[in-house]
Chains A and B, each alone.
Chain A
Amino acid sequence: MATRLNAWLQRGWRVLRQLSGDDAYERYLAHHAAHHANTSPLPRKEFFQRQQQQKWNGIKRCC
């Protein structure tokens, strides 16, 4: 019971982090390791800056 609750809570936390973009850098590192392992990934700060700039270059919010 306790372990199942724990698993649920962990899953909820994962979804919350993914929804908010809190884990974006970790996901980027995983993607980078899988596809571009020969180059070094961006540091956290640069990655976050670039991501925010890109995010707001289109229609992202509605009425």
Chain B
Amino acid sequence: MKKSLSSTLFWIAISLLGAAALGGIALNRGEPVNALWFVAAAGCTYALAYRFYAAWIAAKVLCVDTSRATPAERLDNGHDFVPTNRWVVFGHHFAAIAGPGPLVGPTLAAQFGYLPGTLWILIGAVLGGCVQDMVTLFFSTRRNGRSLGQMARDELGAIGGIAALIATLLIMIILIAVLGLVVVNAMKHSPWATSTIAATIPVAILVGLYMRNIRPGRVLEGSLLGVVLLLLAVAGGGWIDHHPGLRALFDHPALPLAWMVIIYGFAAAILPVWLLLAPRDYLSTYMKLGTVILLALAIVLMQPTVKMPALTQFIDGSGPIFGGKLFPFAFIVIACGAISGFHALISSGTTPKLLANERDIRMIGYGGMALESFVAIMAMIAATVLDPGVFFAINSPAGVVGKEAATAVATISSWGFPVTIEQMNLLAQQMGEATLFARTGGAPSLAVGMASIFGSAFGQNLIALWYHFAIMFEAVFILTTLDAGTRVGRFMLQDMLGNIWPKLGQTSWYPSILLSSGIIVAAWGYFLYIGVIDPNGGINILWPLFGISNQILAAIALSVATGILIKSGKLKQAWITGLPLTWLVIITSSAAWEKLTSNDVRVGFLAAANNLSSKLAAGTLPPEKAAVAPTLIFNLHLDAALALFFVSLLWLIVLDMLRICARHLNGKPVPPLSETPHQATQLEEAWQRD
């Protein structure tokens, strides 16, 4: 009795603190806010949701059964199905779901002010993203760790399975292109960043050779060696930057850098995994975990002040970083960190094969996503602690604010966000860069934000090192996603091509590897190329498309989950996935509608294409722009077709799910539940002793 009273008081205190923190940041107008309030609001929201909502879902909706043997126990084969300690599974799961997405999205969405993004990250995660990850993990665990695509086919029918496959392949292509663009914008005319990122390739190869030939399988030794070499590469980049001869070797405009990224992507896809991909992944995982912990510590220690207003005038759709109103674009731009469909692929991939007991599903599925959402909150803090004028100067593309520094600062200052050329020059000099203007994409402004937080916590004189460390850290795992994504895309394509000519389906046949890797790299390379030559800085086009495709994958996962819940007789509780699904259908449909029909040339693909065609016909374009205009016009039409295709795919699968559910509720035959039968666990006793 006494214990329950103290626990009640504890949760009341958490609720009050959370409400006060959220209320404080939501109602504040014009006063600078201490970033610690964001941390408090986020921490309390996740704690309450985890303690009550997730526990309720686990106990009452999913009916988690701790006496049931998991696939890891029943199918234990010593390599992919292995019952594993839950903290280890949590680590693997988090390392797999946390990519660069939650760092970039919130940084871009900060153009609306700190409030919309922060609220969406918190609410979207606890009601949407965490639920999606958790229920997908649960359903896959009950189905021998089957993938989302297989579950869609088994539970809804062939249409669902094909839709999931196509959505996955397309999202991968758009994702890689946009991430490639983020890296290119960070390396553009920056010898320090370019040389450091280039050095990560030989470092990874060295680590790969070490782990394969010198000391086989000594992962920790190899990783430690790699991390030390990467840190040396950051410092060495500074030396190269000050060396007049070497400097020129790494000083390139965007287009040649894009070509290098494309060539690198192709090479990484056809090289054996142990040489580049696997060692790079070890390094990026340690970098990621280390940096996230360091950033959390620095924010708590330094308590930086958020200078961005709660809302900016750009909620009307005129924002410089990407065009479009607060609704629906804030919810599209922040996908990872609030709800990310890609996670459903991990939750129905490796993770369910490692779970020792179903009781770990809440911690790994719900808790893992809550932690990812917290990373997004930290990215939001790092973006909004910058002076808003500086934030917009770094992130606004030249096509919007003007090519010359003087015009750019005048435009940005006229919006009410004062910034001066001297301020920007001083900042660039501190960071060891020639300029920080028009570095759209989120990585550089995040790096400036992180460098200033780290600098104030761990020493100002190292600020240029911190900046390039942050750039290197983002680039390392963006390139990991690029390598791994190209490879997965290649396998999926080989699988599809195998239906036409079986030989092409052999994943180790070299001509098939070259052909399918070439097709995948050409697909994302095309979008990367277009993004680089786009006068409005590419991100404006590509990031919303990526957000739409990722949300649509989430909608597919939630459709599968809702279908299974209704078929299992849980109609009354199906709102737990039905509610986020409805919201995703609303935002992705509205966003696609705006992208197709808006008259604003920075929002509507077709409006932009028509505008460019008429300018081209009238001969008002300068010659260098007229030369690329036909490509841009074609691409805008392609983007419009892609948006239409995505949203049709979404409606197809949602309507198909509703059809199955209606049939089930009317007592007509539907594909049966594919859950494996109950088998009692033998592990429990051994597990408790450990």
Q: Kindly supply a per-residue 1/0 record for chain A positions 3-28, scoring 1 wherever the CB is within 8 Å of any chain B CB and 0 otherwise.
A: 00000000000011111111011011
Known: A18-B85, A48-B211, A62-B99. A53 touches B217 (CB 8 A): no
Q: Chain A contacts of B100 at CB under 8 A?
A: 63
For the complex, is B97 an interface residue (Cβ under 8 Å from A)? yes
**Are A59 and B346 interface neighbours, CB within 8 A?**
yes
**Are A63 and B336 interface neighbours, CB within 8 A?**
yes
User: Which of A21, A44, A56 is close to B484, meaning CB atoms less than 8 Å apart?
Assistant: A56
Interface core residue of B101, B219, B546 (most chain A CB under 10 Å) = B219
For the complex, is A52 an interface residue (Cβ under 8 Å from B)? yes
Known: A18-B84, A56-B487. A31 touches B78 (CB 8 A): yes
Task: Specify the chain B residue showing the minimal Cβ separation from A46.
Answer: B216
**Are A28 and B78 interface neighbours, CB within 8 A?**
yes
Q: Chain A contacts of B589 at CB under 8 A?
A: none
Q: Chain B contacts of A31 at CB under 8 A?
A: 76, 78, 82
Q: Chain B contacts of A16 at CB under 8 A?
A: 220
Closest Cβ–Cβ distance, residue B161 to chain A (whole Å): 16
Which A residues from 27 to 51 make CB contacts under 8 A with B? 27-28, 31-32, 35, 44-45, 47-49, 51
Number of interface residues of B (CB under 8 A): 53
A58 to B150, CA, bound (A): 14
Task: Specify the chain A residue showing the minimal Cβ separation from B175.
Answer: A63
Task: Specify the chain A residue showing the minimal Cβ separation from B105.
Answer: A63
Q: Chain A contacts of B98 at CB under 8 A?
A: 62
A27 to B76, CA, bound (A): 12
**Are B273 and A52 interface neighbours, CB within 8 A?**
yes
Closest Cβ–Cβ distance, residue A41 to chain B (whole Å): 10
Task: Specify the chain A residue showing the minimal Cβ separation from B335.
Answer: A63
Q: Chain A contacts of B468 at CB under 8 A?
A: none
**Are A45 and B85 interface neighbours, CB within 8 A?**
no
Q: Chain B contacts of A59 at CB under 8 A?
A: 168, 345-346, 349, 484, 488
Q: Chain A contacts of B218 at CB under 8 A?
A: 22
Closest Cβ–Cβ distance, residue A22 to chain B (whole Å): 4
Q: Chain B contacts of A54 at CB under 8 A?
A: 79-80
Closest Cβ–Cβ distance, residue A20 to chain B (whole Å): 5
Q: Chain A contacts of B78 at CB under 8 A?
A: 27-28, 31-32, 35
Q: Chain A contacts of B278 at CB under 8 A?
A: 52, 55-56
Q: Chain A contacts of B97 at CB under 8 A?
A: 62
User: Which of A15, A44, A49 is close to B87, meaning CB atoms less than 8 Å apart?
Assistant: A15
Which B residues from 194 to 212 make CB contacts under 8 A with A? 211-212
Which B residues from 344 to 384 make CB contacts under 8 A with A? 345-346, 349-350
Interface core residue of B217, B343, B485 (most chain A CB under 10 Å) = B217
**Are B340 and A63 interface neighbours, CB within 8 A?**
yes
**Are B349 and A61 interface neighbours, CB within 8 A?**
no
**Are B346 and A62 interface neighbours, CB within 8 A?**
yes
Q: Kindly supply a per-residue 1/0 record for chain B positions 55-90, scoring 1 wherever the CB is within 8 Å of any chain A CB and 0 otherwise.
A: 000000000000000000000101110101101100
User: Which of A19, A27, A48, A51 is close to B92, meaning CB atoms less than 8 Å apart?
Assistant: A19
Known: A52-B278, A59-B345, A62-B343. A22 touches B220 (CB 8 A): yes
Task: Specify the chain B residue showing the minimal Cβ separation from A56.
Answer: B273
**Are B277 and A56 interface neighbours, CB within 8 A?**
yes
Interface core residue of A51, A56, A63 (most chain B CB under 10 Å) = A63
**Are A48 and B212 interface neighbours, CB within 8 A?**
yes
Q: Chain A contacts of B96 at CB under 8 A?
A: 60-62
Q: Chain B contacts of A60 at CB under 8 A?
A: 96, 281, 346, 349-350, 484
Task: Given contacts A44-B216, A61-B484, list 14 more A-B pairs with CB under 8 A.
Answer: A15-B85, A15-B88, A22-B217, A22-B220, A48-B212, A54-B79, A54-B80, A56-B484, A58-B349, A60-B350, A62-B340, A62-B345, A63-B179, A63-B550
Q: Which 7 A-B pairs have the closest CB atoms?
A: A31-B78, A63-B101, A48-B217, A45-B216, A61-B484, A56-B273, A22-B219
Q: Show 17 A/B contacts (Cβ-Cβ < 8 Å), sorted by A.
A: A20-B220, A25-B217, A45-B213, A47-B217, A49-B212, A49-B274, A53-B273, A57-B491, A58-B349, A58-B350, A61-B480, A62-B96, A62-B99, A62-B336, A62-B340, A62-B342, A63-B100
Show the binding face of A for B, using Cβ within 8 Å: 15-22, 24-25, 27-28, 31-32, 35, 44-45, 47-49, 51-63
